[in-house]
A and B are shown apart, each in its own frame.
Chain A
Amino acid sequence: MSDGAGRRTFLKTLAAGSVVAAFGCDSKRAEQLADQAVPAGIDPSELNWGKAPCRFCGTGCGVEVGVHKGRAVAVRGDEKSPVNKGLLCVKGYHLPGFLYGKDRLTHPLRRQPDGSYQKISWDAALDLIAEKYGAALDDHGPDAVSIYGSGQWTVFDGYAALKWIKGGMRSNNLEPNARLCMASAVMGFMTQFQSDEPMGCYDDIELTDDIVLWGHNAAEMHPVLYSRMLEAKRKRPTMRIIDLGTRRTPTSDYADVYIEFRPGSDLAIANGILYLMLKNGDFDKAFIDKHVVFMRGIEDVDEIGYGCFGDQAERYTFKDKGRRSNIDELRTFLADYTPEKVSAISGVPVAQIELLAKIYGDSSRNTLSTWCMGVNQHYRGTWMNNLITNLHLVTGKICKPGSNPFSMTGQPSACGTAREVGTLCNRLPADMLVTKPEHRAKCEKAWGLKPGTIPSKVGYHTMDLFRAWTRGDVKVMWVQVTNPWQTIPNLDRIGRNWKDDQFLVVSEIYPTVTSAVADLILPSAAWIEREGVFGNSERRTQQWNQLVAPPGEAKEDAWQIIEVAKRMNMGHLFPYTDDNWHEEMYEEYRSLGLGTGKDLASYEQLRGARGLRWPVVDGKETRYRYTAGHDPYVKKDDVHFYKAKKYGEKAAFWLRPYHAPPEEPDKDFPFWLCTGRVLEHWHTGTMTRRIKELHQAVPSAYVEMNPADATALGCSEGDVVRLKSRRGELDLSVVTRGRGRPPRGSVFVPFFDEGRLINRLTLDSMCNISKEPDYKKCAVSIERV
């Protein structure tokens, strides 16, 4: 290697001499052109390439980052990664750019009385946080402290936060933004299998015959997975893609069948499919008898509510109560969901409902259902999760390569951190709950804490946390890797009163609308500026090493938490050595899941691998959970739902009815409003907008509208209109020929633009079980300005 340069010069001399002469004059011209062009490049062999998972979506593509002189200068898709096999999407290809925005935060900043920010030292900053948390605990108790984190936290950050707040401060007010994102999927899996996360994996894409996407715009939200679907279809033209949605998206453009339904009526459609399958004799009786129990919960809409009206607008604590049901009761229950009735509710033609029933009921074809925010951000999100999984339970199309209900995560470590570490107000690592004495005891023992240290009282879920913050009941909040002042629905409800006794800390890499209301801003190290572990949608745990130095004094989030804990005499929670604390912390965390079916790979193994899917037993990953021959915990011959002790180790089929949405278009507010992401931007755009190519592709938010509606309103492409809901208003320019095409009476607005905060209009209604808000349905009016 050391003589590389010498060798190159040697070759160059050779090339300039005899070779050129040998091949003629063309080369001379080429030589001149090469010499006059852009500055001489770096020899690719001078780059150091390191592996990392992509920083953005829940697909979890593997990338290799090219580092030159301490800076990331290129990425390439990791051909060794089984997730993406070398391919990325436009966000992934532009990853390194997000690290180098000129306005990176590089020093702790303390807000001054005049609203300006002054640099302070790390020592002063950490002392101040410790003092604020200490004072809140002394004066108001554990309910007054909180941490609000993220599905973009690494496992280390989430685990440090969990241990500190639950085992140190003795509070359960720990929430991730994954509450706004994956909570309904968590509750779906928990209510049916008593263990979170899917049984299947991405391999299903290549093995299935029919993919049914439920309100899942995979082409934009999981681009690499969608291209895997398209590639599978190219190779096997008999494969079909069925897209169910409330507007046409780029996903619909490539689908074989597009089925458009009225917002919220997916509940009726799923029941309609069950009705037809039961009628047609498509239920797999043998599978049901062996593996399924029937359950029924509370269905009274008045008792449940929507989490945003009346008393529920301050606190929403509805709890479902299940009782055993049976197939005869199901038959009576489904009588309400004849194709004609479902068609009337959903606007879907009877023929399409029958087609769906045929697809799910066809035992000769594999079926894969996928979903993400359309189903999860739903006023009955857990119910929808239950219903889709029900379709697979009654047909036995589950735990089989090619046939599974597969919930996709939005964030890179929504699974790895939020769900597996359990950074939620009711959870502990590896599916454990704070309400279960034996789970608390297990953690206390592993952490060397006195019995009774971890509190059993469930903390505030995200929506109630911000409501409590606004009331002033929560005194201190630390926000990391997320931007709630842009993403909480019905945004104007949450606020900051500068005269109050509250303290808000924000760990960030750039100034955001959230850091703008912080008392203290801490500069964070991002992605490859520190060591990390993420877990993606298919249970794949991926590790990376630090590849470049963070800018200025930026530090990783886990370090920030540990340093504050030490200052509060809680250093005993983090008894790791200085130079190997990541591995030691990970191994301690991992010990909590070993032997439970949630076994993660060892740190040592992760270092060398392109991620491994848990459970990892004897160094071997698991592609299909609960399945003989795949899952090492299954000793029986076919399928065994061994985690569902409550249901006799069977899966629970829940009867779930249709409920109308909390707010529907009317005379005053005649349009549906749906919000979401676009391919080019990640969440609130704080990273992707700082990447030139991505910003220039989608520079600002807009309102996507049906051309007929635009004509009726007297406006056309590019005109500015005012959207109003019962909660707020916003001016946006009209797009009628965009990538998505909403039906008449429906509009779509992306949420990435901090200059155009669409969440000022959205409704804070929630799933009754998961408490995940619904960003997809509320009513607005539109007028020209």
Chain B
Amino acid sequence: MRCQHRARLTLALLVCTAACGNSERSANGVASKSAAHVRAERRAYDGAPPVIPHDVFSANCTACHNEKGLLVPGVGFAPNMPHAKTVGVGKQARCTQCHVYRKTEETFRDSLFAGLHQDLRKGRRHHVFAPPVMPHATLMRENCQACHTGPAAREEIRCRHPERTRCTQCHMERTTTTEFPPAVRRTD
């Protein structure tokens, strides 16, 4: 059991080394592009499933992209998956239905498509002390911690109270863009 576990970890290490070789990090390990920039590069628009930024190395993506994510010291972090509940993990997860590998950097024909950028402005709050309202839908992102905690979380959206795991107790999803009619003061 232990042996098997170690073998898997070694494989994962090897794989991450290969995979992260051409990542956004420069030789001294300092990020040369902002995390938001890298995020945008991997998506056709905000909300599109990201392309897979490394080579194919396992049929089982959730071996590394597991519930907690897998940190490989000095190499990189395989972030955890935000939608284990919706699509399952392990043998029954069909990740490549939505996430594809890049086999080439070339394009077939030029395109004028410009996708929606992520809105990086601050989320709304009802008043200064109110918890911010979620600025995006939660479909396929039911595990908030995948993006908001851990090494893969971008600094600007990193949660400062990860020990509180019931996120929706305080943060609501905005499901409509129309405002509730303001109260009218009675004058009689």
Contact status A230-B139, CB under 8 Å: no
Report A34-67 CB contacts with B as 1/0, cut-off 8 Å: 1011111111110100000000000000000010
Which of A99-107, A196-204, A358-366, A743-751 lies at the interface?
A99-107
Complex CA–CA separation, A690 to B112 (angstroms): 10
A99 touches which of B44, B113, B129, B177 (Cβ 8 Å) = B113
Contacts of B5 in A (CB 8 A): none
Given A14-B128, A699-B103, also A73-B45 (CB < 8 A): yes
Tell me if B180 counts as interface (CB < 8 A to partner A). no
Complex CA–CA separation, A226 to B94 (angstroms): 9
Contact status A41-B111, CB under 8 Å: no
Contact status B116-A68, CB under 8 Å: yes
Contact status A41-B120, CB under 8 Å: yes
Nearest to B118 among chain A residues (CB) is: A41
Tell me if B99 counts as interface (CB < 8 A to partner A). yes
Complex CA–CA separation, A689 to B107 (angstroms): 8
Contact status A102-B110, CB under 8 Å: yes
Contact status A79-B139, CB under 8 Å: yes
Tell me if A694 counts as interface (CB < 8 A to partner B). yes
Contact status A66-B116, CB under 8 Å: yes
Complex CA–CA separation, A66 to B34 (angstroms): 26
Contacts of A31 in B (CB 8 A): 156
Contact status A87-B86, CB under 8 Å: yes
Complex CA–CA separation, A146 to B73 (angstroms): 67
Contact status B155-A74, CB under 8 Å: no
Contact status B99-A234, CB under 8 Å: no
Contacts of B135 in A (CB 8 A): 44
Contact status A74-B51, CB under 8 Å: no
Tell me if A254 counts as interface (CB < 8 A to partner B). yes
Complex CA–CA separation, A22 to B125 (angstroms): 14
Contacts of A100 in B (CB 8 A): 111-114
Contact status A38-B100, CB under 8 Å: no
A43 touches which of B112, B119, B158 (Cβ 8 Å) = B119
Which of A90-98, A388-396, A535-543 lies at the interface?
A90-98
CB distance from B44 to the nearest CB of A (A): 5
A698 touches which of B48, B103, B137, B156 (Cβ 8 Å) = B103
Given A30-B155, A38-B120, also A690-B47 (CB < 8 A): no
Complex CA–CA separation, A41 to B135 (angstroms): 12
Q: Which of A542-591 contact B (CB under 8 A)?
A: none
Tell me if B117 counts as interface (CB < 8 A to partner A). yes
Contacts of B155 in A (CB 8 A): 29-30, 33
Size of the B side of the interface (Cβ < 8 Å), in residues, is 64
Contact status A74-B46, CB under 8 Å: yes
Contact status B120-A37, CB under 8 Å: yes
Most buried by A among B34, B46, B51, B109: B109
Contacts of A695 in B (CB 8 A): 104, 106-108
Given A37-B37, A97-B111, A679-B96, also A42-B119 (CB < 8 A): yes
Contact status A33-B110, CB under 8 Å: no
Tell me if A124 counts as interface (CB < 8 A to partner B). no
Contact status A40-B97, CB under 8 Å: no
Contact status A86-B44, CB under 8 Å: no
Contact status B140-A96, CB under 8 Å: no
Nearest to A32 among chain B residues (CB) is: B156
Tell me if A722 counts as interface (CB < 8 A to partner B). no
Contacts of A96 in B (CB 8 A): 44-45, 113, 115
Contacts of A254 in B (CB 8 A): 91-92, 94
Tell me if A15 counts as interface (CB < 8 A to partner B). yes
Complex CA–CA separation, A254 to B88 (angstroms): 13
Complex CA–CA separation, A68 to B128 (angstroms): 30
Tell me if A607 counts as interface (CB < 8 A to partner B). no
Complex CA–CA separation, A690 to B97 (angstroms): 19
Given A14-B128, A66-B116, A234-B92, also A692-B107 (CB < 8 A): yes
Complex CA–CA separation, A37 to B178 (angstroms): 29
Complex CA–CA separation, A696 to B101 (angstroms): 8
Report B147-172 CB contacts with A as 1/0, cut-off 8 Å: 00000001111101000000000000
Given A1-B177, A44-B136, A692-B111, also A34-B97 (CB < 8 A): no
Contacts of A315 in B (CB 8 A): none
Q: Is the interface of B mostly helix, strand, loop or mixed?
A: loop
Most buried by A among B102, B121, B158, B160: B121
CB distance from A606 to the nearest CB of B (A): 24
Nearest to B49 among chain A residues (CB) is: A93
Complex CA–CA separation, A76 to B49 (angstroms): 10
Given A12-B121, A42-B119, also A90-B114 (CB < 8 A): no
CB distance from A218 to the nearest CB of B (A): 10
A74 touches which of B36, B47, B108 (Cβ 8 Å) = B47
Tell me if B59 counts as interface (CB < 8 A to partner A). yes
Contacts of B128 in A (CB 8 A): 14-15, 18-19, 22
CB distance from A734 to the nearest CB of B (A): 15
Given A37-B34, A93-B48, also A71-B98 (CB < 8 A): no
Contact status A253-B59, CB under 8 Å: yes
Tell me if A530 counts as interface (CB < 8 A to partner B). no
Contacts of B2 in A (CB 8 A): none
Report A1-31 CB contacts with B as 1/0, cut-off 8 Å: 1000000100110110011001100100111
Tell me if A764 counts as interface (CB < 8 A to partner B). no
Complex CA–CA separation, A254 to B87 (angstroms): 13
Nearest to B110 among chain A residues (CB) is: A102
Contact status A230-B88, CB under 8 Å: yes
Given A227-B94, A679-B97, A697-B100, also A11-B124 (CB < 8 A): yes
Tell me if A638 counts as interface (CB < 8 A to partner B). no
Tell me if A231 counts as interface (CB < 8 A to partner B). yes
Tell me if A248 counts as interface (CB < 8 A to partner B). no
Contact status A77-B139, CB under 8 Å: yes
B104 touches which of A12, A224, A230, A696 (Cβ 8 Å) = A696
CB distance from B32 to the nearest CB of A (A): 14
Complex CA–CA separation, A74 to B44 (angstroms): 8
Contacts of A71 in B (CB 8 A): 114
Tell me if B61 counts as interface (CB < 8 A to partner A). no
Tell me if A233 counts as interface (CB < 8 A to partner B). yes
B100 touches which of A8, A44, A694 (Cβ 8 Å) = A694
Tell me if B188 counts as interface (CB < 8 A to partner A). no
Complex CA–CA separation, A76 to B135 (angstroms): 15
Complex CA–CA separation, A187 to B118 (angstroms): 50
B156 touches which of A30, A679, A689 (Cβ 8 Å) = A30
Residue contacts A-B, CB under 8 angstroms, 22 given: A11-B122, A11-B125, A12-B121, A38-B36, A40-B120, A41-B116, A41-B117, A44-B177, A73-B115, A74-B115, A86-B139, A90-B98, A90-B99, A100-B114, A223-B94, A226-B97, A254-B92, A685-B108, A692-B107, A696-B105, A697-B101, A739-B96
Given contacts A33-B36, A692-B111, 18 further A-B pairs with CB under 8 A are: A14-B125, A33-B155, A34-B156, A40-B119, A41-B120, A71-B114, A74-B45, A90-B97, A93-B44, A100-B113, A102-B110, A230-B88, A254-B91, A680-B100, A691-B111, A692-B44, A695-B107, A696-B100
Chain B residues in contact with chain A, CB under 8 A? 34-37, 40, 44-49, 51, 59, 86-88, 91-92, 94, 96-122, 124-125, 128-129, 135-137, 139-140, 154-158, 160, 177-179
Rank and list the top 7 A-B pairs by shortest CB-CB distance, nearest first. Answer: A41-B119, A697-B100, A37-B36, A100-B113, A102-B110, A30-B156, A45-B177
